Homo-oligomer: A and B are copies of this chain.
Amino acid sequence: MTDFTDGEKRGFYKAIYSRRDVRSRFASRPIKEETLVRILHAAHHAPSVGFSQPWNFVLIKDAGTRRRIKESFEEERLVSSRLVEEPRRSKYLSLKLEGIQESAVNICVTYDPTKFGPFVIGRTSIPDAGLYSVCCAIQNMWLAARTEGIGLGWVSILSNKVLRETLGLPEHVVPVAYLCLGHVDEFAEKPDLEAAGWLQRLDLADVVYFERWDGRNDGSWGVTEEMLREGLDYA
The smallest C-beta distance from A207 to any residue of chain B, in angstroms, reads 5
Interface residues on A, range: 35 or more
18 contacts between A and B (CB under 8 A): A1-B149, A8-B10, A12-B15, A50-B193, A57-B207, A58-B210, A59-B211, A79-B124, A95-B121, A110-B213, A123-B156, A125-B156, A126-B160, A128-B131, A132-B138, A135-B139, A143-B143, A168-B214
Q: Which of B8, B110, B204, B207 contacts A147 (CB 8 A)?
A: B8
The smallest C-beta distance from A40 to any residue of chain B, in angstroms, reads 6
Closest B residue to A56 by CB, please name it: B207
Chain A residues numbered 176-226 whose CB sits less than 8 Å from any CB in chain B:
176-177, 183, 191, 193-194, 198-199, 201-202, 204, 207-215, 221-224
- CB of A100 closer than 8 Å to a CB of B: no
Q: Measured between alpha carbons, how far is A95 from B193 in the docked complex, in Å?
A: 45
Closest B residue to A170 by CB, please name it: B213
The smallest C-beta distance from A30 to any residue of chain B, in angstroms, reads 9
Q: Contact flags (1/0) for A137-178 with B, using CB distance below 8 Å?
A: 011101110111110001111111000001111100100110
Top 4 closest pairs, chain A to chain B, by CB = A11-B11, A2-B149, A8-B11, A135-B135
Q: Which of B10, B57, B146, B167 contacts A11 (CB 8 A)?
A: B10
Chain A residues numbered 16-43 whose CB sits less than 8 Å from any CB in chain B:
16-17, 19, 21, 33-34, 36-38, 40-42
Chain B residues near A233: list those with CB within 8 A: 34, 38
